[in-house]
A and B are shown apart, each in its own frame.
Chain A
């Protein structure tokens, strides 16, 4: 059973122990932060998408970044990794300031991300996708590229490492298929494996589980947990609370661009501020209970009752009516 592997390992115990004394409050100081961000702001027109005062990510831990849709999680990732420019703020990775650093240098510094919308390189084969991830390739310089003997040896070593990773992610049978022919979940796996080829210290995963078949989630989960076992730090964005509870050592909650709460999964999920952020109203329940209700549909009724409407009348109806005869 996969659950066995998720039991407390030495590394996890160490991470949990290190975070035990950290106060459960936004912007809490960590004993050994790998990533520290201060006053990061990003406006889109009038919208303040990201407004983070202070946040630290503990080295060797798995940190989850959660928050409702549009909270600014992806934008925060984009800022940290140089894919988008912050209006203000500073952040350091391993003590080195990465403000204004282009994405490729961020990646080379050891901070590698994946994307919410998977970016498999369709017309490259799976193994080529993997090889592309390796850094410091001699054959990637224009002049040496024309002299195969200068890079053959390195290429073989890279291929070997790629094949190992593919086997670990159960993609070895797809080795020579075009990445574009993979299923959505397989692409997520490939993207994660490819990111590992870079040899990162900090792996940043943007919704690794989104759109993945539930049958695959357990194995994906395990892959994420394994990253820490191999000495990497993980920061991941996720909506699935079960997954967060299972593997995260620490949870950071974002809402409307701000950090609302921080703490171990159990603490955070019963935090009122967090529940408010998700629902915009006071509820005396933990998030996990809310999720259950969402599934059974009782919540919809409750919300509807509060708004004084019958549950069947969804909001968009009026909107459709307007545009249907839109001439």
Chain B
């Protein structure tokens, strides 16, 4: 366990080193339209910006934040109209060059739309830097970050990959699956050792993401915040087991009762989060946007590379720990047969506490990664939970390997399916596939059947 903690520390330090060396710009997943409103290099706050779909339906409204940023999530790829309400401009700003911008958002894209604050109608015959270059539909797109004046920063990686879109989606899927794998390990191991299907597992991710957010907002640099939040998650997991689940196990409480209790815990934590951070989506102050780099045929941001690296390293570390360390073997023994494990001298309670602690730390970290990519909001845990369930079930509930394999399958599937399915329906697509797989192979990919009688 100590070794594992040391590993984790080293990895995070590595992450810090790489991230500090790279500039923070833009990238993401889940379509949004966003931008930064500035006038004479100073941010303009409190301006209302409305996004509507092509057929005039209002999608969302945003107000520019203190740093001039604004963001409106959109339901999927398509044409959108972005309108800046000039009436809400502060008196210091003279007006806006064009208050209505039409734009096309591609699958996966975080589209940047920039309004130029200045005297109205002055920009008529100038090139229009306030709007992003046309989105990548053909092969003539230039890769981002090549210095072209038209290609604004923030043009999405996947959109510009053009011919390689499928490969690009596959890479996003891999990233998604790896992070999901981190999240799934805790769920799967807790299930394996205690039989609890923890519906509050999503809130463990949420906890990590929000802890990092709050620490970050308190002025701590994000990388330190990540480290602290992961540690806090571990403490949270430890405390939850010792202070809550262990006494319940001793009581004893039936598995189904425990499952419903976990729903109560989930509701409580989720809405406590809403109470604390509100209903909106928040972002960390760094590494939410970054310039992608070209590696072979694909584009990827350094941040994502580092995240994926950490995930691979952690997953490997857990796999090694499970097979090589005494604690890991004990964990597998408990998962196999708690009574027998206890009878052969394994301290089952301690194993479970370690599983909770490590599982929650991993879940918290994966929550932070999701937070970096998608932003933090109080519903993120619930959204991801279903995918984590899908992943662990696909892999076979209760097995660590299953959780990893299942997560990769789900991650890749969900992203690649965006190629054919409207992206707002890709989650639904995964869930449908989950149900279909259960039809054919009820015990999951790697699970085994139970005995009767």
- List the interface of chain A (C-beta within 8 A of B): 45, 74, 77-78, 83-84, 115-117, 206, 316, 319-320, 322-327
Contacts and interface: CB of A to CB of B under 8 A. Distances in A.
Nearest to B351: A326
A323 B325 contact: no
A211 to B, nearest CB: 15
Given A316-B344, A319-B345, A320-B345, A74 B330 contact: no
10 interchain residue pairs of minimum CB distance = A326-B326, A320-B345, A83-B452, A323-B345, A326-B330, A115-B453, A323-B346, A324-B345, A78-B453, A327-B326
Nearest to A119: B453
Given A319-B344, A323-B345, A323-B346, A206 B330 contact: no
B438 interface: no
Interface residues of B, number: 15
B285 to A, nearest CB: 39
A206 B453 contact: yes
Contacts of A83: 452-453
B441 interface: no
Interface in B327-349: 327, 329-330, 333, 344-347
B1 interface: yes
Nearest to B343: A316
A45 B449 CA distance: 11
Contact of A117 (B325, B326, B344, B453): B453
A320 B453 CA distance: 30
B452 A78 contact: yes
A77 B1 contact: no
Contacts of B346: 323, 326
9 contacts: A78-B452, A206-B453, A322-B326, A323-B333, A324-B345, A326-B326, A326-B329, A326-B330, A327-B325
A326 B453 contact: no
A115 B453 CA distance: 5
Contacts of A78: 451-453
A84 B326 CA distance: 35
A323 B326 contact: yes
A320 B344 contact: yes
B215 to A, nearest CB: 31
B193 to A, nearest CB: 14
Interface of B: 1, 325-327, 329-330, 333, 344-347, 448, 451-453
Nearest to A319: B344
Contact of A84 (B333, B347, B448, B452): B452
B453 A77 contact: yes
Contacts of A322: 326
Contacts of B327: 326-327
Nearest to B345: A320
B344 A116 contact: no
B443 to A, nearest CB: 13
Nearest to B327: A327
A112 to B, nearest CB: 13
Nearest to A113: B453
A83 B451 CA distance: 9
A319 B329 CA distance: 13
B329 A74 contact: no
Pick the most buried of B327, B329, B452: most chain A CB atoms within 10 A of its CB: B452
Contacts of A326: 326-327, 329-330, 345-347
Given A84-B451, A319-B344, 13 more contacts: A78-B453, A116-B453, A206-B453, A319-B345, A320-B344, A320-B345, A323-B333, A323-B345, A326-B326, A326-B329, A326-B346, A326-B347, A327-B326
A320 B342 CA distance: 10
A210 to B, nearest CB: 13
Contacts of A116: 453
Given A323-B326, A326-B330, A327-B326, A74 B453 contact: yes
B352 to A, nearest CB: 13
Contacts of B330: 323, 326
Nearest to A206: B453
B343 to A, nearest CB: 9
A206 B452 CA distance: 12
Contacts of B347: 326
A316 B346 CA distance: 13
Nearest to B2: A327
A132 B80 CA distance: 63
A78 B452 CA distance: 7
Nearest to B331: A326
Contacts of B344: 316, 319-320, 323
A254 B94 CA distance: 94
Nearest to B325: A327
Nearest to A116: B453
Contacts of A319: 344-345
Nearest to A324: B345
Contacts of A325: 326
A303 to B, nearest CB: 22
A214 B330 CA distance: 38
Contact of B1 (A115, A206, A324, A327): A327
B3 to A, nearest CB: 10
A232 to B, nearest CB: 21
A83 B1 CA distance: 42
B180 to A, nearest CB: 29
Contacts of A45: 448
A67 to B, nearest CB: 16
B5 to A, nearest CB: 12
A325 B453 CA distance: 35
A116 B345 CA distance: 27
Most buried by B among A83, A115, A117, A323: A323
Nearest to B330: A326
Q: Which of A45, A115, A319, A327 has the most CB of B within 10 A?
A: A327
A195 B213 CA distance: 61
B83 to A, nearest CB: 58
Contacts of A323: 326, 330, 333, 344-346
A115 B452 CA distance: 9
B399 to A, nearest CB: 14
A316 B344 CA distance: 8
A71 to B, nearest CB: 15
Contacts of B451: 78, 84
B409 to A, nearest CB: 23
Contacts of B453: 74, 77-78, 83, 115-117, 206
A318 to B, nearest CB: 11
Counting chain A CB atoms within 10 Å of each CB, the highest count among B330, B345, B451 belongs to B345
Contacts of A115: 453
A77 B451 CA distance: 12
A116 B452 CA distance: 10
A84 B451 CA distance: 8
